[in-house]
Amino acid sequence: MNARISKDSFHSKKTLDIGGQHFDYFDLTALRHLGEVDRLPFSLKVLLENLLRFEDGDTVTESDIQSIIDWLDTRRSDKEIQYRPARVLMQDFTGVPAVVDLAAMRDAMTRAGKDPDSINPQSAVDLVIDHSVMVDVYASEQAFARNVELEMQRNIERYQFLRWGQQAFTNFRVVPPGTGICHQVNLEYLGQSVWQDSGVLYPDTLVGTDSHTTMINALGVLGWGVGGIEAEAAMLGQPISMLIPEVIGFHLSGKLHPGVTATDLVLTVTEMLRKKGVVGKFVEFYGPGLDALPLADRATIANMAPEYGATCGFFPVDQETLRYMRLSGRSETLIARVEAYAKANAMWRDSSQPEPFYTDTLALALDEVVPSLAGPKRPQDRVPLPEIKTATDDLLALSGLEPEQQIQVDLGDSGEESKGKSFSLTHGDVVIAAITSCTNTSNPSVMLAAGLLAKNAVEKGLRTKPWVKSSLAPGSKVVTRYFEASGLQDYLDKLGFNLVGYGCTTCIGNSGPLLAPIEKAINDANLTVSSVLSGNRNFEGRVHPLVKANWLASPPLVVAFALAGTTRIDLTQKPLGHDSHGQPVYLKDIWPSQEDIAQAMKEVKNSLFEQEYADIFAGDDIWQQITINQGNTYQWRPDSTYVRLPSYFDEVTQPLKPLKDIENAAILALFGDSITTDHISPAGNIKADSPAGHYLQAQGIEPADFNSYGSRRGNHEVMMRGTFANIRIKNLMLKGKEGGYTIYQPTGEEVSIYDAAMRYQDQNIPLVIFAGKEYGTGSSRDWAAKGTSLLGVKAVLAESFERIHRSNLVGMGVIPVELPEGLLASLSLTGKEKLHLKGIDSLSPGAKLTLEITNEQGQESQYSVKARVDTRTEMAYLKAGGILHYVLRTMISAE
């Protein structure tokens, strides 16, 4: 990944002396004669350096490099470039299927009579096991140990597979479970800001198999989330094909008021950028407000780039970057390298410099930010704290529910901590309060604020309401160390916020079950209850299947709402509860002061980071004792329900079939706007009466041992059955009914989407899906595309697509087709129509296709639609059957 392959047509290769050591680098200032390079957005400077370093006259040409300079003229471009990130980051939910694919590719190479060892990561890959811990046990001193024990029991086969991959593949490291969330580990340890390879310095860059990879943008590292499919191709040496993006500058000024958190700031930023419209664009933060914005706050903002729709949310390297690197235990050698390189190569931010040029800008004065939450279904729907009661009541009114409806609950002996407790449960009650997710648990100021609020609450005699499931899942063990050093963990424990694990829990649906009497009450009374979590995702059905209203909030507000027990309250006016003398206690009475937070922050020291990351890849005794099969190809177990050999590559040794038009296709489903990958991709619990549940029971697996969809992502049989099976998805063929069902048109039966797809496949009938705007928003789940492909869907026709999911569809050989705005509504589809898509046989990037629809009466109509296969590289992938098929065919032919 260094400069030796570059033609260096612009003579930009220079030498930099740092402390007596000499390094090569590609100097952007050598291009000043071509244009105002210094005024490029910092994020585009990273892309420019990448092209200079990889100029080979083929995948990167002189004109590609010039096109970045030319961007300054119009501040947008339709130029396609080939970008090569330095490394790849994975979490285990998305990482396991990626390693399954690599193992399957090795099998395919063996079948082709080629060397399987040629399938190997060509760049550094780190996989962090962080998505498998579930909140089964909580509000208990035994919660962490018991949850870890259950995690190992459920996932031992997956972990054996990952340990095999660790020894079988080069350039592949695994961070064991119980260490932290991949994004926080990346921020605190893995990220380097400036990479060094064979004496060449260059910016640290990456792609990740989680959409919140953008968190590392806070450290001046350009990175974003891609599908596992795209990440695997990058690992195997394929460049990422992309259009030079528009860059939106976000100007920050002033300072946050005391009592306003980074979470309040990011919810405001998310709301503003969603309204602006930045899908597919870079966002870069600039302005004097950065001078007073800690890097942990920047990380909170960068983390939520997927929520505001941007490819990335970039912060350039500056003095604060160096301060954080020193705090987090990076070496002085690395810090000196980062400073020297950034300053030498026009990548150092300073408020005295002229501001970069941007495609467009917007601005925020930090002193205008107020305490807020976001919800109840989307992270961009910000609600100021005083208006949360009104927002909850509005939700109930829209649902036609009586706000004061109550149902009596007697917990009895349903939990050790709940014996003898009885209460009334009503709409808006908070049944889950979780300090969780990378967004906020990486930020010491908001975490310590939660601990201080807990301390003040305990000293006032307040207690968490008995119907609240409370949990604390930090993003790294460093958080536990500074909580313990400050003495605040004890107070969190007293309010039920005991440590439940180190990983992404509630935010991805690993919230675990509620107490049985509470679940029964919610079902019996059809209650709309709430969760409050310090996460980044609150899509419908994501946090818990029974919790319809989900609110994103700062960690201290999570604790506050656990004390209040309801979202039907204005915490700025009404008391949280009463002290031991019966006096009301208000939020303002227990909210920590800036002085108290500053004092607690003194316990956050670089020695804590150094201790926790000294032996990060070792794991505990249980991890080290896992037995694995040696060898360069995996020994697939025919009885496995976790890891199975997929069928994608069965025909990869056969001659390519030409692209052809889609004829006489049936409509598998009709969807509206905002269908997310949470709706499409299997996630959360597996229902016993679902197609996946039936499959597992046929394999002898009892429902109690189903585990989650995420844990079984290495088994395509489970995952394809769970595609489009979300309990909240609405197929418009079914007139408002929720769940993964459709009408099998030949008989008119209502069946599961999976069962219908299999029947259509048996008859060789191709399938299409129709949807509205923002199709595929949400996490970058590769199974949203893999499952779609395995179900036999040949094209998805929608009014607009989320960036990653559109790319993933192409990567699995499914054609994304963009409908003109308003067309879907005007078609009034019923699902009984037959479809033809013409022009695929002569497809080119961005080409127009003809959509021909034949209705039930035999009447035909035609419409012009656009194929969202955007680049020549994507065309090559589509023709090969997908991105991995392209890589594999290329390697087989080259052997």
Name the least confident of 34-48, 252-266, 430-444.
430-444
Q: Among candidates 364, 519, 534, which has minimal Cα distance to 439?
A: 534
H or E element, residue 701: none
462 three-class SS: coil
Contact indicator for 316, 349 with CB cutoff of 8 Å: yes
pLDDT of amino acid 685: 81
pLDDT band for position 4 (cuts 50, 70, 90): low
Q: How far apart are CA 697 and CA 823, in angstroms?
A: 43
Encoded tokens for 104: 């399957």
Q: What is the CA radius of gyration of the chain?
A: 27
Q: How far apart are CA 438 and CA 838, in angstroms?
A: 45
Is residue 449 domain-shared with residue 552, that is, in the same domain? yes
pLDDT of amino acid 509: 82
Q: Answer whether residue 811 is part of any domain.
A: yes
State mean pLDDT over 277-297: 96
Residue count (the chain): 895
Quick one: how far is CA 97 from the chain centroid?
A: 16
Is residue 556 domain-shared with residue 671, that is, in the same domain? no
Is residue 878 domain-shared with residue 766, that is, in the same domain? yes
Q: Answer whether residue 586 is part of any domain.
A: yes
410 three-class SS: strand
Number of independent structural domains in the chain: 3
Encoded tokens for 625: 């004792």
Most distant CA atoms of the chain, gap in Å: 81
pLDDT of amino acid 414: 61
pLDDT of amino acid 232: 84
Q: Answer whether residue 88 is part of any domain.
A: no
Q: Average model confidence (pLDDT) for the chain?
A: 93
Is residue 567 domain-shared with residue 676, that is, in the same domain? no
Is residue 540 domain-shared with residue 671, that is, in the same domain? no
| DSSP string for 284-315 | EEESGGGGG--HHHHHHHHHTHHHHT-SEEE-
Is residue 668 domain-shared with residue 538, that is, in the same domain? no
Contact indicator for 528, 435 with CB cutoff of 8 Å: no
State mean pLDDT over 601-612: 95
Give the number of other Cβ atoms within 10 Å of residue 534's Cβ. 31
Which range of residues forms the domain containing residue 831?
662-681+723-894
Contact indicator for 316, 281 with CB cutoff of 8 Å: no
Interacting residues of 879 by C-beta distance below 8 A, sequence separation 6+: 656, 658, 659
Q: Answer whether residue 551 is part of any domain.
A: yes
Given 543, 559, 592, the domain boundary residue is 592
Q: What is the pLDDT of residues 654-697, one digit of tens each?
A: 888 899 999 999 999 999 998 998 899 887 788 899 999 999 99
* DSSP conformation class of 775: B
pLDDT of amino acid 778: 74
Q: What is the pLDDT of residues 807-835, one digit of tens each?
A: 889 989 999 999 999 999 999 999 999 99
| Helices (H), ranges, 16-91 | 42-53, 62-74
Contact indicator for 241, 80 with CB cutoff of 8 Å: yes
Q: How far apart are CA 540 and CA 613, in angstroms?
A: 36
Choose from 448-462, 621-635, 652-666, 797-811 the range with maximum mean pLDDT.
448-462
Q: Answer whether residue 153 is part of any domain.
A: no
Q: Among candidates 270, 314, 271, 272, which has minimal Cα distance to 290?
A: 314
Q: Judging by DSSP bridges, how do beta strands 860-867 and 815-818 pair with one another?
A: antiparallel
- Cis peptide, bond prior to residue 376, ω within 30 of zero: yes
H or E element, residue 155: helix 143-168
H or E element, residue 755: helix 753-762
827 three-class SS: helix
Q: Is 212 exposed, middle or buried (0-12, 13-18, 19+ CB in 10 A)?
A: buried
Model pTM?
A: 0.86
Q: Answer whether residue 541 is part of any domain.
A: yes
Given 83, 100, 118, the domain boundary residue is 83
State mean pLDDT over 226-255: 90
**Residue 138 CA: distances (Å) to CA of 141, 425, 480, 493, 879:** 8, 20, 16, 10, 51
Q: How far apart are CA 527 and CA 798, in angstroms?
A: 33
Is residue 566 domain-shared with residue 442, that is, in the same domain? yes
C-alpha torsion angle, residues 275, 277, 278, 279 (rounded to 10): 120
Backbone angles phi, psi at 722, to 5 degrees: -95, -5
State mean pLDDT over 845-862: 94
pLDDT of amino acid 895: 59
pLDDT of amino acid 31: 97
pLDDT band for position 140 (cuts 50, 70, 90): very high
Is residue 675 domain-shared with residue 541, that is, in the same domain? no
434 phi-psi bin (left φ>0, alpha ψ -120 to 50, beta other): beta
Q: What is the pLDDT of residues 471-482, one digit of tens each?
A: 999 999 999 999
Question: What CATH number should be reported for the domain holding residue 451?
Answer: 3.30.499.10
Is residue 754 domain-shared with residue 881, that is, in the same domain? yes
- Is pLDDT at 633 greater than 90 in this prediction? yes
pLDDT band for position 3 (cuts 50, 70, 90): very low
Q: What is the pLDDT of residues 489-537, one digit of tens each?
A: 999 999 999 999 998 898 888 899 999 999 999 999 999 999 999 999 8
Contact indicator for 135, 469 with CB cutoff of 8 Å: yes
Given 546, 569, 592, the domain boundary residue is 592
First to last CA, the chain: 22
Interacting residues of 674 by C-beta distance below 8 A, sequence separation 6+: 378, 772, 773, 774, 777
Q: Which residue has the tokens 């040029």?
A: 357
Q: Answer whether residue 625 is part of any domain.
A: no
Strand order in 247-253's β-sheet? 312-314, 282-286, 247-253, 360-365
pLDDT of amino acid 415: 57
pLDDT band for position 48 (cuts 50, 70, 90): very high
Q: How far apart are CA 837 and CA 840, in angstroms?
A: 7
- Is pLDDT at 709 greater than 90 in this prediction? no
pLDDT of amino acid 98: 87
Q: How far apart are CA 473 and CA 499, in angstroms?
A: 6
* DSSP conformation class of 139: S
Is residue 576 domain-shared with residue 671, that is, in the same domain? no
- Is pLDDT at 303 greater than 60 in this prediction? yes
pLDDT of amino acid 236: 85
State mean pLDDT over 579-600: 96
- Is pLDDT at 566 greater than 50 in this prediction? yes
Encoded tokens for 449: 């604020």
% of the chain exceeding 70 in pLDDT: 98
Is residue 578 domain-shared with residue 673, that is, in the same domain? no
Question: What CATH number should be reported for the domain holding residue 835?
Answer: 3.20.19.10
Q: What is the pLDDT of residues 739-793, one digit of tens each?
A: 999 999 999 999 999 999 999 999 999 999 999 999 998 765 788 999 999 999 9
Q: Answer whether residue 100 is part of any domain.
A: no
- Is pLDDT at 460 greater than 90 in this prediction? yes
Q: Which residue has the tokens 């350096």?
A: 49
Higher pLDDT, 114 or 412: 114
pLDDT band for position 711 (cuts 50, 70, 90): confident
Give the number of other Cβ atoms within 10 Å of residue 237's Cβ. 15
| DSSP string for 485-549 | HHT-HHHHHHTT--B--SS--GGGT---PPPHHHHHHHHHHT---EEEESSS---TTTS-TT--E
